[in-house]
Amino acid sequence: MLEVKGLGKEFGGLKAIDGVSFEMRKNTITGLIGPNGAGKTTLFNTIAGVYAPTRGEILFKGEHIEGLQPHRIFHKGLVRTFQIPRPFPDMTVLENLMVVPAGQTGERFWNNWFRPGKVNEEERALHDKACEVAEFLNLTRVLNLQAKNLSGGQQKLVEIGRALMADPELILLDEPGAGVNPSLLAEIIDRIRELHARGITFLLIEHNMDMVMNLCDPILVMANGRLLMEGSAAEVRTDSRVLDAYLGGEPEVSEAS
């Protein structure tokens, strides 16, 4: 589903990503881990179109997407969430969900005069879909609250809900467990598993190692902007290069990565 080939991103003289290559199969939950400053979020931003790569290729379902604008990548079914949730704070949860789908008839103001029936029909369909997504994420009781009044964990669920409103095929999850209390974290993990069972593919950055080891297969490990290794949870746990990277050693990156 996703192929990254020799990807590089430089900021001045800093190589934030340095020759990263990997492939993701459809309907997997792939983990992306590494110490702070490893280049994980820069990799996400480059895949999602926030940054144009300095070099390399990114293919989604066989189509080159490197350098495309984020909204064009979004419309192809590749959607990302953020470590710090970014809802519209003064809009309700319902409004945050309903605003996501692109090309709504009501976005053109004249259609509200000349095609009110079509606008109302779409609004009802979007309302029903948003309510279904909220119910799935256990957000029904806060549906009419402003997003700024939600807890951090609830805002993380709204982030996932907004991604679901776009009917994604691949979701890039940026630290969904960060700052979330244990009960909500368990709920987020359950929802990811259910969505995976429905056929959605995930690439997930996370520092909670228990979550990664129990949820993800395979796991990608980055250090110093490069891909250190790829393997199962058991392989990652026992790899000396991974231990060195997390404990402050200088990891030896293989030529293949």
pTM of the model: 0.85
Distance CA 67, CA 54 (A): 9
At 111 the pLDDT is: 59
The kind and range of the H/E element at 3 are strand 2-11
Average pLDDT, integer, range 124-152: 93
Task: Look at 257 and 68; give whichever has higher pLDDT.
Answer: 68
The kind and range of the H/E element at 155 are helix 152-164
Task: Look at 240 and 44; give whichever has higher pLDDT.
Answer: 44
Which residue has 């009960």 as its token pair? 183
pLDDT tens string 181-232: 888 888 889 999 999 999 999 999 998 888 999 999 999 999 999 999 999 9
Average pLDDT, integer, range 78-88: 88
Q: Indicate if the pLDDT at residue 157 is higher than 70.
A: yes
Length of the chain: 257
User: Percentage of residues in the chain with pLDDT exceeding 70?
Assistant: 88
Q: Indicate if the pLDDT at residue 252 is higher than 50.
A: no
At 25 the pLDDT is: 94
Amino acid at 185: L
Task: Look at 240 and 7; give whichever has higher pLDDT.
Answer: 7
Contact 66, 237 (CB under 8 A): no
Task: Look at 49 and 101; give whichever has higher pLDDT.
Answer: 49
Q: Indicate if the pLDDT at residue 13 is higher than 90.
A: no
C-alpha distance from residue 92 to each of 130, 161, 254 (Å) = 12, 13, 49
Name the residue among 41, 32, 34 with its Cα closest to residue 9: 41
Q: Indicate if the pLDDT at residue 249 is higher than 90.
A: no
Q: Indicate if the pLDDT at residue 36 is higher than 70.
A: yes
User: Percentage of residues in the chain with pLDDT exceeding 90?
Assistant: 63
Average pLDDT, integer, range 13-33: 95
Token pair in block for residue 231: 């393997």
At 116 the pLDDT is: 63
Average pLDDT, integer, range 161-173: 93
Q: In this structure, what DSSP letter does residue 62 have?
A: T
Average pLDDT, integer, range 155-165: 92
Average pLDDT, integer, range 142-160: 92
* Mean model confidence pLDDT for the chain: 88
Name the residue among 43, 59, 56, 45 with its Cα closest to residue 227: 43
Distance CA 74, CA 201 (A): 14
- Please compute Rg for the chain using Cα positions: 19
Enumerate domains of the chain plus CATH numbers.
2-84+168-180+200-247 (3.40.50.300)
At 181 the pLDDT is: 85
